[in-house]
Amino acid sequence: MKKHRLAAAVALVGLVLAGCDSQTSVELETPAQKASYGIGLNMGKSLAQEGMDDLDSKAVAQGIEDAIGKKEQRLKDEELIEAFAFLQKRAEERMAAMNEESAKAGKKFLEDNAKREGVVTTESGLQYEVLTKAEGAQPKANDVVTVHYEGKLTDGSVFDSSIERGSPIDLPVSGVIPGWVEGLQLMHVGEKYKLYIPSELAYGEQSPTPAIPANSVLVFELELLSIKDAGASAEQ
């Protein structure tokens, strides 16, 4: 995280906290008040995710109050730069440790899972098991398919589900994460697979959402409903 990003985030959180001694004194009636709370809430979550969960809210509010009141700042710029650098370094160290822990846990999970009956491990490291067998056509990389799915982390928490939304989705086989690209081409229309996708075949160290930590193994229940490509459909 860049120093200017941290400074901006702290300032935004401060906008909500300035002039407030406790949660009970905050009014959330007008659109501006609600938006202010939303800004603070989102930035607070972001800061906590990046290891900044011990920031002093009263000190943040004091900084905003001094700036708005055009008072002399209580710390020199050099001290602030040093403090930001410390927090940035600490956050990076924490994130690196969390990423390493996640990678180790994912590797252990896949090693154990590979020993279970019915689980197949491909050359790439993708693991799958067939939940429902069928004899339909198999999609190719340039096809568009209709699928139902539910994605979970290895602890069972759901991060995305077309099943919960009650609506299957259409997607290009070659336009998804590598684990899906490979897995879909193994399937026949009408089949349901369970995919266990190593992080390197998913998002790796780049977390697309706080719901999916970096280096996560992803577990999908995936049902191939149909192939939409006209040429492929004609072959069925």
Is residue 86 annotated as a catalytic residue, yes or no? no
Using alpha carbons, select from 81, 100, 57 the residue that is nearest to residue 2.
81
Pairwise CA distance, residues 96 & 13, whole Å: 25
Catalytic residue among 84, 109, 128, 149: 149
Catalytic residue among 39, 66, 160, 163: 160
Residue 113: left if φ>0, alpha if ψ -120 to 50, beta else—which one?
Answer: alpha
Is residue 84 annotated as a catalytic residue, yes or no? no
Is residue 203 annotated as a catalytic residue, yes or no? yes
- Which amino acid is it at 190? G
Spatial neighbors of 19 by CB under 8 A, at least 6 apart, are 61, 65
Catalytic residue among 193, 203, 227, 229: 203
Is residue 220 annotated as a catalytic residue, yes or no? yes
Q: How many CA atoms lie within 13 A of 168 on its CB side?
A: 15
Is residue 193 annotated as a catalytic residue, yes or no? no
Q: Active-site residue numbers?
A: 149, 159-160, 177, 203, 220
